[in-house]
A = this chain, B = another copy of it.
Amino acid sequence: MIDVNDKAPSVLALSGGIGGAKLVLGLYHELAPWRLAIALNTGDDLEHMGLHVSPDVDTVMYTLAGESNQHLGWGRASETWSFMEQTKRIGGPAWFNLGDGDMALHVRRTELLNNGAKLSDITAQFFAAFGVQAHGWPMSDQSVRTIVETVDGRRLPFQNYFVEERCEPRISGFIYDGATGAQPSSSIIDTLANPDLQAVVMCPSNPFVSIEPILSVPRVRAALAACAAPVIAVSPLVGGAAVKGPLAKMYKELGLKPGNAQILRHYNDFADGFVIDHADAAEQLELGLPVLVTKTVMSNLDDRIDLARSVLDFAKKLAAAKKPRQMRSGG
Chain A residues close to B by CB (< 8 Å): 49-51, 79-80, 82-87, 89-92, 99-105, 107-108, 110-111, 114, 125-126, 129-130
A53: min CB distance to chain B, Å: 12
What copy number does this chain have within its complex?
A: 2
A73: min CB distance to chain B, Å: 19
B residues within 8 A CB of A84?
Answer: 104
Please name the residue on chain B nearest to A115 by beta carbon: B50
Q: Which of A79, A111, A126 has the most CB of B within 10 A?
A: A111
Say whether chain A's binding surface is mostly helix, strand, loop, or mixed. Answer: helix
B residues within 8 A CB of A92?
Answer: 104, 107-108, 111
A92: min CB distance to chain B, Å: 5
- 29 pairs of residues in contact across A and B, judged by CB atoms under 8 Å: A50-B107, A50-B111, A51-B107, A79-B82, A80-B80, A80-B82, A82-B100, A82-B101, A83-B104, A83-B107, A85-B101, A85-B104, A86-B102, A86-B105, A87-B107, A87-B108, A89-B130, A90-B104, A90-B125, A90-B126, A90-B129, A90-B130, A91-B108, A91-B125, A91-B129, A92-B104, A92-B111, A103-B103, A107-B107
- In angstroms, Cα B99 to Cα A107, docked, is 13
B residues within 8 A CB of A101?
Answer: 82-83, 85-86
